Amino acid sequence: MNIQAARVEVSQAWSGPLPPPDVLAQYEQLLPGTAERILVMAEKSVTGRIDDDAKSTDAEIEAAKRGLSFAMRLTSAMTLAALMFFVLGGTGIGRTAAWMTAGGICLSVPVVMLIRSFIARS
């Protein structure tokens, strides 16, 4: 008497937000309406991630706009202050060297911001 044994191994892999179609059909057989509920749940999961990404992108854009607005106001204010100091130094009222130094210091902020904007793009 000769006995032979065979071993068969079966494996399945499935990827995605939904179960494989045969498993989904089994769910539907056990509890009618389950397949529809699973589909709705998968759709909500996908749209939720898309909505979260959109909100995150909108927040980043708003933060960038606020930063640019602040930089523009700061640059304008420092440029005006520098011009005021240079005008005062040019008229000879008070210490001319002090006015010119203050003007140079105020003008350094816009110049540094301009240089930084070119470096950031490289």
14 domain residue, yes or no: no
Is residue 12 domain-resident? no
Residue 120 pLDDT = 67
What does the DSSP assignment read for 54-101?
A: HHHHHHHHHHHHHHHHHHHHHHHHHHHHHHHHHHHHHHT-S-HHHHHH
- Tell me whether residue 116 is in a domain: yes
Residue at 40 is within a domain: yes
Whether 30 is in a domain gets the answer: yes
* Residue 119: predicted pLDDT: 85
Q: Which residue has the tokens 């000879």?
A: 92
What's the confidence (pLDDT) of residue 94?
76
Could you read off the pLDDT tens digit of each residue along the chain, which spans 122 residues?
778 888 888 887 877 778 888 888 888 899 999 999 989 988 888 888 889 999 999 999 999 999 889 888 988 898 899 998 888 888 877 788 888 888 888 888 888 888 887 886 65
Three-state DSSP at 74 gives helix
Could you tell me if residue 13 is inside a domain? no
Structural domain harbouring 104: 21-121
**Is residue 15 in some structural domain?**
no
What is the tens place of the pLDDT at every residue in 8-35?
888 878 777 788 888 888 888 999 999 9
User: What is d(CA 59, CA 93) in angstroms, rounded to the nearest whole number?
Assistant: 49
pLDDT at 109: 84
Tally the domains of the chain.
Answer: 1
For residue 92, give the DSSP letter: T
